[in-house]
Amino acid sequence: MSDEKTAQVPEIPFVNEMRLNTKQWLITSAVLLVILVGTPFAWKHTERFKTDADYRIPYSLSKDYWLYHRRLQQIDDHSRVLVLGDSVVWGEYVLPDGTLSHFLNAEAGQTDRFVNAGVNGLFPLALDGLVNYYGGPLRHRRILVNCNLLWMSNPKADLQTEKEEKFNHSHLVPQFSPRIPCYRADANERLSAVAERNFSFLAWVNHLQSAYFNDKSIPIWTLQDDGNDPPHYTNSYRNPLTEIKMAVPEAPANDPQRGPASPRHRSWTENGGNPAQFEWVTLASSLQWQGFQHLIATLNSRSDDVLVLLGPFNEHMIAKESRPGYQALREGITSWLTANKVQFVAPPPLPTELYADASHPLTAGYHLLAKQLSTNAVIASWIALK
């Protein structure tokens, strides 16, 4: 009898699911929207972000574009001048008080009129992407933008080579068009870069990874080993939430890699440097020049008051055979700037001993460059230093 009753019980499959009606879907969507939009907004008002007159984005946070956007938002005084550029503006070999913006402030007799808006590792194509996707606050501003010819010194630097090359800030370059021959990222990485540019929440997630997890996702950070043999996974049992200190990490006060006390802070001639040959690309073929042109067009479309600084390039380092290509490139750039009514200043090269390499001055070099600019008629009238 019991077997007969058991056989009559209908078999109901176990289904672990919840079906939402229209109202519930609307509520769920609203909650998700609040999280996606509200979290980055609330984070800006909660996380401590200490800056000063010589502040620059720390080297370790060079790829934290969400933080860069936040930094630009802080600068609400439109009389201040933002100095845009790559490591030449940022100051590869110098401390924050040895940069071009610092010495321009000194020449102006002020402490915060010039802002170091450079990012280490940038190049024209990446700078164009940074301004387009994370430089929204750059509207109706006074902008001094550096044009570094180093990025057109050979096909590899210009990203023209067909061989795959790894380079900094790949998420800022065009992902699909125009095609960059040496950029071989798969579709997933390209689409991720596009998504991060367009959704603040994803850029904020990248900020968390940069600021607190050494540019790694939490799962990868958890599985990171200490490099020993056998490896030890020191983060395996650590709570990731304890790593979030709610304060943007600061650069070390005494950076061993930079400044007069650093072994890197030496003239290129002291390091045994000799004049080098450069395989200059042409402006017509240059991807970096296309990026720079687009950057200028973007800034002009936002009613920014733009002044281009051409250089400072270490002309002492150019071998005799490479000088005609350099001169042709420089003349082509100045002709384009003139034809397009873009104000520019092209100071003479610094003394050879004031360069660390092909394009980066040492501390004394930035000091002298600032003096040259402060007495230049074009920049003096533009910025009213006098």
Which residues make Cβ contacts (< 8 Å) with residue 239, sequence separation at least 6?
none
Distances (CA, A) of 357 to 84, 150, 255, 279, 314: 20, 11, 19, 17, 7
In 218-356, DSSP assigns E strands to 305-310, 343-345
pLDDT given for residue 235 in this prediction: 87
- CA 329 to chain centroid: 25
Sequence-separated (6 or more) residues with CB below 8 Å from residue 327: none
Report the alpha-carbon distance of residue 287 to residue 123 in Å, rounded.
11
Q: Contact at 8 Å (CB) between 319 and 270?
A: no
The strand order across the sheet containing 142-147 reads 114-118, 81-85, 142-147, 305-310, 343-345
pLDDT given for residue 34 in this prediction = 85
114-118 vs 343-345, strand pairing mode: unpaired
Q: 122: part of which helix (H) or strand (E)?
A: none
What pLDDT score does 66 carry? 97
pLDDT value of residue 10: 62
Query: Closest Cα to residue 70, out of 268, 230, 211?
Result: 211
Closest CA to 217 of 198, 197, 232, 196: 196
Cis geometry, peptide bond prior to residue 178 (ω within 30 degrees of 0):
yes
Residue by residue, pLDDT tens for the chain (386 residues) are 455 555 565 666 666 667 888 888 888 889 888 888 889 999 999 999 999 999 999 999 999 999 999 999 999 898 899 999 999 999 999 999 999 999 999 999 988 999 999 999 999 999 999 999 999 999 999 999 999 999 999 999 999 999 999 999 999 999 998 999 999 999 999 999 999 999 999 999 999 999 999 999 888 998 888 778 888 888 888 899 899 999 999 998 889 999 999 999 999 998 777 899 999 999 999 999 999 999 999 999 999 999 999 989 999 999 999 999 999 999 999 999 999 999 999 999 999 999 999 999 999 999 999 999 998 888 888 876 44
pLDDT at res. 36 = 87
Look at residue 149 in the predicted model and tell me its pLDDT. Answer: 97
E strands, 165-282, where? none
Give me the pLDDT at residue 386, please: 41
Q: Note the pLDDT of residue 7.
A: 56
